[in-house]
Structure 1
Amino acid sequence: MGYTLMHEHIYLDLSKVKNSDDCLLNSFELMVEEFKQLKTLGVERIVDVTNIGMGRNIPYVEQVQLQSGIEIVSATGCYKAPFLPDWFYQQTIEQIAQRFIDEIERGIENNGRKAHIIGEVGSGFEGINPDEHRLLQAAAIAAIETGKFVTTHTSLGRFGEEQLDLFVQMGLNSDRVIIGHTDLAGDRDYLFRLLDRGAYVEFDTIGKLNYQPDELRADLFSQAIKCGYQSQLLLSLDITRKSHLRANGGIGYAYLFEQFIPLLFERGVTEADIEIILQHNPNRILQ
């Protein structure tokens, strides 16, 4: 198995809540072409963290996989408020968890494709609200029951420690949790606190320069590597809009390899480090 991008979206529809057609990611041909290029760069697998309430489209995903030759791993779970499906508010934590478990053990939407990760499940800008609290509890129950990892969304990188606290209180070991969007915090101390607790940390908004300069991302990521945390680090781009695709003027998926990884090399990161982060760590998580 070659490289794996651990936090992407294949078909995503957040357009109604965000009131923007750009948030309907449905550019089939453009995505297939970019994925074919990724194969030439060593990528063989992509984790699609689009789940219930995010416009997940399994037949579409399977066609992208077929046409591009890239293996796509599907996820279960719900995103965060205000994207939670209507049924969420009527069910107990245990019932919500069972939905996630069923998608792992039986398959998604009677399709036969099984989920292999729980996420992205997340929280908002002001903290973990009561609905998101129930969501994360359900994700923890499903993870404990199935042995699958949980991958999270943190708004602007915030409240990853609080997410981890909740999971641990539920009995889920921190080394079964991936804290997403950590690069958006731009905070070295916060990053190292998460790593010291044993969680996986994901820098997955590479190239989104309106949030953070990539030089800062590269500084923090390379410092974590130099301190020996390679086995807890993950990389991805989180392409979520049509405008993010290269043909539409965006950075495109190859940006990670063409622009960001060279910044890491300039800071002393080695090819062996990249292999651990993009190959060995995903293999361990998805086994």
Structure 2
Amino acid sequence: MIDTTGYTYCHEHLHIDLSPQKHTLDCRLDQYQLLCEEMRDVQKRGVRNIVEVTNSFMGRNPQFIENLINDTGINVLLSTGFYIEGFFPASLYDASVEQIAQGMINEIEVGIDGSCLKASVIGEIGSSEAQFSPTEQKVFQAAAIAHLETGRPISTHQSMSTMGRQQIELLKQCGVEMENVTIGHCDLRDNFEHIIWMLDQGCYVQFDTIGKNSYYPDDKRAASIAELCRRGYEKQIMLSMDITRRSHLKANGGLGFSYLIDEFVPLLKQHGVSDHQISTLLKTNPARLFG
């Protein structure tokens, strides 16, 4: 479970392999020593928890994570579920909602792939850009069952910040209370009114692609967060970077995990976000949802 003494990155990957689908070795994040260095660095900055949302068929490796925890002391919360179209196993299409849910429940209650670790989060489950396929919806229905059975929170993936409304509506139909849901990737485009609508449903939203300025500039991310805080929504916002590539690591020329604390937090302060509000985003909110 979560270590409430420090900050939490709500949406990250410490071992992921999307290289078969992306056709580049850069998308195989598995450089153990470099990740150990990154985890030691963020801990020096007050980060205690990484929510690791790599699930089945994304290259999840619980033994790798076990070693990382043991060697660095970072607290990692693992996930269960399935991602989006293009990353599903063939068997998922024929499986029933109940069968998919039972697989998630097993990983929460029994453990993951013969490791000593259990899943703490149902995620990242997602929808494709501007569409929500029948199988993606089936995964959401299964996630709802698994959540209602185990009480573990649901973390979603919006492709390019689309379909969050549809995700929320489906989970509501399945009986999920929105205080147990966090909607991912809300910060990849101008969609402020969409974010307001989602927040008003009672869920959490994630500004979790911090540093990915080629998609959307961090200055706009910070301005949006500042405005949301001014409107009183700070208790529903969480932060992360969604590091997925070797080239994202500092030793490989990337920004590295510490960028969020070293660069983005000062940017938030420049936009008028207080230290207390920053602590709420990075510490209080994740502890409430993932604890």
* TM-score of the alignment, normalized to the shorter chain, above 0.5: yes
Gaps of 5+ in 1: none
- Equivalent residue number for residue 205 of structure 2: 201
Aligned pairs for 1:99-114 within 5 A: 99-114=103-118
Quick one: which of 252, 255, 272 aligns to 1:251?
A: 255
Kindly provide the CA deviation profile for residues 1-44 of structure 1, in whole angstroms up to 9, marking residues without a partner as x: 20111100111011001111110001111111011010110001
The SS at the match of 1:60 is helix
Residue 24 of structure 2 is aligned to residue 23 of structure 1: no
The answer on 1:137 being equivalent to 2:146 is: no
Partners of 1:140 and 1:79 lie apart in 2 by 15
Q: Output the CA distance in 2 between the equivalents of 1:18 and 1:148.
A: 31
Q: Counterparts of 1:141-180 in structure 2 under 5 Å?
A: 141-180=145-184
Q: In the TM superposition, what is the alpha-carbon distance from 1:61 to its structure 2 partner?
A: 0.6
8 Å contact kept, 1:158–1:185: no
Name the SS of the counterpart of 1:183 in structure 2: coil
* Structure 2 Cα separation of the partners of residues 201 and 70 of structure 1: 24
Which residue does 1:52 correspond to in 2?
56
Taking only aligned residues, the RMSD between alpha carbons, in angstroms, comes to 0.9
CA distance in 1: counterparts of 2:78 and 2:250, whole angstroms: 24
Are 2:15 and 1:11 equivalent residues in the alignment? yes
274-283 vs 238-247, greater mean Cα deviation: 274-283
Whole-angstrom distance in 1 between the partners of 2:32 and 2:114: 23
Q: What is the TM-score with the length of structure 1 in the denominator?
A: 0.98
Give the length in aligned residue pairs.
287
2:260 maps to amino acid: L
Whether 1:121 and 2:125 are equivalent positions in the alignment is yes
Q: Deviations over 1:97-145 (max 9, x none)?
A: 0100111111111323111110000011131011101111111111111
Say if 1:117 and 1:149, in contact at 8 Å, map to a contact too.
yes
* d(CA) in 2 for partners of 1:286, 1:241: 25
Q: CA deviation at 1:185?
A: 2.8
1:230 to 213, 230, 234: 234
Deviating runs (4+, > 4 A) in structure 1?
none
1:78 maps to 2:73: no
SS of the counterpart of 1:234? strand
> What does residue 182 of structure 1 align with?
186
- Do the aligned partners of 2:84 and 2:128 also contact (CA within 8 Å) in 1? yes
Q: Tell me which amino acid in the other structure corresponds to 1:193.
A: W
Corresponding residue for 1:279? 283
CA deviation after TM superposition for structure 1 residue 186, in Å = 2.3
1:263 shift after superposition: 1.1
Query: How many angstroms apart in 1 are the aligned matches of 2:191 and 2:227?
Result: 12
Task: Please say if residues 156 and 181 of structure 1, whose CA atoms lie closer than 8 Å, have aligned partners that are also in contact.
Answer: yes
Of structures 1 and 2, the one scoring higher in RCO (CA 8 A, sep 6+) is 2
More divergent stretch after superposition (30-39 vs 107-116): 107-116
- Partners of 1:81 and 1:103 in 2: CA distance: 21
1:38 alignment partner in structure 2: 42
TM-score (ref. length: structure 2): 0.97
How much identity, in percent, do the aligned residues show? 44
